[in-house]
Amino acid sequence: MSIRLQNIAKHFANTQALEPINLDIHEGELVGLLGPSGSGKTTLLRIIAGLENADRSPQPGKILFGDRDVTNVHVRDRRIGFVFQHYALFRHMSVYDNVAFGLTVMPKKRRPSNGEIRARVFRLLEMVQLQHLANRLPAQLSGGQQQRVSLARALAVEPDVLLLDEPFGALDAKVRQDLRRWLRRLHDELNFTSVFVTHDQEEALELSDRVVVMSNGRIEQIDTPDTLYRAPKNRFVFEFLGDVNHLEGRVRDGVLTCGDAHLNVDLPDGDEELLLRPHEVRLAEEPSAESHLPVTITAISPVGAEVRVELEADWLAKPWLATVRHADFERLHMRRGQRLFAHPRQWHRFKEDAKTPEQQARVA
């Protein structure tokens, strides 16, 4: 089931929570709404669900599920499944009864038979790998298990659209990571259309087919995770999607100078600020003819596939972060207090009046 939003805006008193938004979500897509607190992502999700009403003036918006106009349809009749951050399970009901609840309260004409309900519930419990816990109460489950029950309950009524509001926000990091991978596999298996809200960049990039990046009630960019990360349309998107190093200085005759540091750049004279991702910083024992950026290691975190190295220098307004391979870490015998030189592999430049960002690749 596709979703189309046309001219959706929202005010709370004198505050504009959403600027007029147009958004098309394709059938079978898993779309993430990503942004900081106050960006409007939860408000937009609640409007899709029918839990909030969009502004009706000066120009009314429209919400379509496929060809069905649900703009003025009550939430109970929109055929949605909703998964909340804090599970919202009935504590006095078993896992089985929680999943079956939406089916048992259907109007009699639409309600499946008891046998059909039982078969559907156990099929879903098997999908979420909880069939052996059907008789347990929610309090007897872990947080991850409770969220899977919540998801099964939402899917039991066979919704046209599945909506999830910070579905993993209440879980610890390891459980959250495992559960989102499981959700991605389940989504691919069942091919339902779903929209989820998150402020976690890693979660959005890992789970989504496309990500909607929001800020101050407007959409900044809609793209695939790879395109968002590699080709952000503006500075906000670039800085929100990961760690960023800042290099500020003045360019003269093709050289950016900042204190004792300098970097060759193909830019016009004037003040400049360049942005770099941690993986775009190579560390070496010597400077080069193009780059003289002396730094000192202040912290090392050898966690995961790469080593995170924090760097400081007199010419840096804020510390830099570099990620290096373990082989390079060992080759350079990295340690706190060690003096090295940073070599940008690539930098990014954003101008407020430019339509597209400028990027420049450098030799690693």
Same domain, 305 and 170: no
Give the residue from 176, 174, 220, 167 showing the smallest Cα distance to 194. Answer: 167
Side by side, the strands of the sheet bearing 245-252 are: 291-292, 261-264, 255-258, 245-252, 270-276, 346-349, 358-361
**Cα angle: 247, vertex 310, 259; to 5 degrees:** 35
CATH for 333: 2.40.50.100
Taking CA atoms, 275 is separated from 76, 212, 238, 242, 243, in Å, by 48, 22, 9, 12, 10
Residues 251 and 290 in one domain: yes
Domain count within the chain: 2
| End residue of a domain, out of 203, 234, 265 | 234
Domain with 160 in it: 3-234
What is residue 31's predicted lDDT score, i.e. its pLDDT? 95
The predicted structure's pLDDT at residue 93: 92
CB 283 within 8 A of CB 309: yes
One domain, residues 78 and 135: yes
Per-residue model confidence (pLDDT) at position 178: 79
Which domain CATH number covers 19? 3.40.50.300
Instruction: Please tell me whether residues 109 and 249 are part of one structural domain.
Output: no
Last residue of a domain, one of 177, 207, 234: 234
**pLDDT of amino acid 170:** 64
Residue 307 and residue 177 share a domain = no
Q: Are residues 114 and 211 both part of a single domain?
A: yes
Residues 75 and 100 in one domain: yes
Rg value, the chain, Cα: 25
Model pLDDT, residue 286: 94
What pLDDT is recorded for position 356?
A: 55
* In a shared domain, residues 90 and 174: yes
pLDDT (tens digit per residue) in 19-61 = 999 999 999 999 999 999 889 999 999 999 999 999 987 788 8
pLDDT score at 108: 85
- Domain co-membership, 219 together with 318: no
**Measured distance CA(121)–CA(119) in Å, rounded:** 6
User: Does residue 254 share a domain with residue 227?
Assistant: no
- Is the same domain home to 191 and 252? no
Final residue before a domain boundary, out of 234, 254, 278: 234
Asked whether the beta carbons of 81 and 162 are under 8 A apart, the reply is yes
Low-confidence ranges of the chain (pLDDT < 50): 353-355, 361-364
| 228 lies in the same domain as 108 | yes
Q: What is the pLDDT of residue 357?
A: 61
